[in-house]
Chain A
């Protein structure tokens, strides 16, 4: 145990995800040894982030104003919504430069074992967005794991009466991998989703 405020800093750092007691101690001593201006800059950014960043009132993405950068962009296609679990998934899809529609961030996936049901996610907000008839296509880009699949199944069932085009991201073999290491489920999905080659 260190004295007073140093131990408090180690304890606070240790509460961050993925930071154990040893890492917390290492970061704390790095901060103590660093230039005061660097540490103050970090402190200022932490304060500013907490004060300024909020969730977009339309899509639930992180934003610095009432609406996020994507929702404010008038060049985006208003007829397509891509549903993702977390704001970091928006960044992942944006990196592809393939999607020009807007997003809807659910805030997680349905996980009954953790006590998370549809009412704990931003499902009602999604239904409200779909109600005015502007959106004609919904892309379900929840994680390709069991909870993500179940969430996509639930949403597809919910929006079915609205007559929208509902699609799910394809799953299959990762680019750059070896076929022999693919598991049966992934390889099976790749076979299901195979496409003809136009040459």
Chain B
């Protein structure tokens, strides 16, 4: 496999040497790939803006000894422009990229669902039809669900008693009933639970029409849930601008 080609989203770039960058790309078929973009920091680079974070690209790699090398790139969608032009979208989008990177920690292990979810999330973020913070919250809940950490906002996660319940336990994986709530469980408003369910299922009518109080409470629950299951905290989450 000296040359291979795939669609992907650029997650992160790091400077390398004089004019190169290490580019982390979440690809459709090969999962997360780290590769060197040679000379991309030069203004004369033929890759130019195509290898910036948030770029959805058709990319060809050459298999290298330690890191692969980017040989050709074509843009499929350049979400970066509209995302970087709005600070709230930029910070929310960065948290999405970091989450995608963390949930695909094994290189070249296919993660098609994570890839499709990220592309959909970035498309929604760039379109600006919904609040950037809500798009991020929906993405976090769904990407964690794809990774095997689906939160329950209905029945008790411990005994299965039908919900809704007033208590939420991050370590138990969602709503808990009065009898089974572990110490430290948070109390949560029923309306916030409805918002959280809507975020998970993509019922945007409920999310867009929700009272800001309940959206704020939902955001707190999502952040705590994501930080708990990702073990190491997301660095970009504290910098998300929800103004």
Determine the chain A residues whose CB is within 8 A of the CB of B43 once the complex forms.
174
A184 in contact with B75 (CB, 8 Å): yes
Interface residues of A in 136-153 (CB under 8 A from B): 145-146, 149-150, 153
Q: How many residues of A contact B (CB 8 A)?
A: 24
> Quick one: which of A111, A112, A149, A185 has the most chain B CB within 10 A?
A112
Determine the chain B residues whose CB is within 8 A of the CB of A177 once the complex forms.
44
Minimum CB–CB distance for B105 against chain A, Å: 15
B84 at the interface (CB under 8 A from A): yes
A113 in contact with B50 (CB, 8 Å): no
With A117-B239, A146-B53 in contact, do A186 and B84 touch (Cβ < 8 Å)? no
Determine the chain B residues whose CB is within 8 A of the CB of A181 once the complex forms.
46
Q: How many A-B residue pairs have CB under 8 A?
A: 72
Determine the chain B residues whose CB is within 8 A of the CB of A176 once the complex forms.
44
**Given contact pairs A112-B91, A146-B80, A150-B90, a sample of 20 additional A-B residue pairs in the complex whose CB atoms are under 8 Å apart:** A18-B18, A112-B94, A112-B98, A112-B240, A113-B97, A113-B98, A113-B235, A146-B53, A146-B90, A149-B81, A149-B85, A154-B87, A174-B44, A176-B44, A182-B48, A183-B49, A184-B75, A185-B49, A185-B75, A186-B48
A115 at the interface (CB under 8 A from B): yes
Q: In the bound complex, how far is the Cα of B43 from the Cα of A181, in angstroms?
A: 12
Determine the chain B residues whose CB is within 8 A of the CB of A18 once the complex forms.
17-18
B115 at the interface (CB under 8 A from A): no
B38 at the interface (CB under 8 A from A): no
Our pick among B12, B46, B53, B90 for the contact of A183 (Cβ within 8 Å) is B46
Determine the chain B residues whose CB is within 8 A of the CB of A117 once the complex forms.
238-239
A153 in contact with B49 (CB, 8 Å): no
Q: List 30 A-B contacts (CB under 8 A).
A: A110-B239, A112-B95, A112-B235, A112-B236, A112-B239, A112-B240, A113-B94, A113-B97, A113-B235, A115-B235, A115-B239, A145-B52, A146-B80, A146-B84, A146-B90, A149-B80, A149-B84, A150-B87, A153-B85, A153-B90, A154-B87, A157-B87, A177-B44, A182-B48, A183-B48, A183-B75, A185-B49, A185-B75, A185-B78, A185-B81
As a 0/1 sequence over residues 77 to 121 of chain A, the CB contacts with chain B under 8 angstroms (1 = contact) are 000000000000000000000000000000000111111010000
As a 0/1 sequence over residues 158 to 199 of chain A, the CB contacts with chain B under 8 angstroms (1 = contact) are 000000000000000010110001111110000000000000
Q: In the bound complex, how far is the Cα of B75 from the Cα of A182, in angstroms?
A: 12
Determine the chain B residues whose CB is within 8 A of the CB of A153 once the complex forms.
84-87, 90
- The list of the 3 closest CB pairs from A to B, nearest first, reads A112-B236, A183-B48, A185-B49
Minimum CB–CB distance for A188 against chain B, Å: 8
Our pick among B12, B48, B86, B87 for the contact of A185 (Cβ within 8 Å) is B48
Determine the chain A residues whose CB is within 8 A of the CB of B95 once the complex forms.
112
With A112-B95, A113-B12 in contact, do A185 and B235 touch (Cβ < 8 Å)? no
Determine the chain A residues whose CB is within 8 A of the CB of B94 once the complex forms.
111-113
Determine the chain B residues whose CB is within 8 A of the CB of A174 once the complex forms.
43-44
Q: In the bound complex, how far is the Cα of B87 from the Cα of A149, in angstroms?
A: 9
